Amino acid sequence: MITTEEIKALARLAKLQFDDARCEEFSKEFEEIVAFAGEINSSVVGGTSEIREIGGREIALSDLRADEVEPSLSAEKITSNVEAENGCFTVRRVVK
């Protein structure tokens, strides 16, 4: 179980602040996410038509979006409006 203390620790790392009620909501949402990830991890290799219930909602693997390969932009196009070197973004040093 993900505790509200863990949620608060994550919020501090992300420089966010939540009241106790919102932390409780996040805790429940994280539990559903972890349960769903566990269900996916335990699925049969190669797919299955088994229906799963996650967070009170039935989900079939066939309901999930199929992966589609799409063309990518070229490095030149991506870096055309920013400082770049050898196709990579250049950024200012922020740590001494």
pLDDT in tens, 52-90: 555 556 666 677 778 888 999 888 888 888 888 887 888
On whether the pTM is more than 0.75, the answer is no
- Asked whether residue 27 carries a pLDDT value surpassing 60, the answer given is yes
Closest CA to 31 of 61, 64, 3: 3
- Asked whether residue 46 carries a pLDDT value surpassing 70, the answer given is no
| Vertex 30: Cα angle to 19 and 27 (nearest 5) | 35
pLDDT score for 71: 92
Task: Report the distance separating Cα 18 and Cα 46, nearest Å.
Answer: 41
- Asked whether residue 49 carries a pLDDT value surpassing 50, the answer given is no
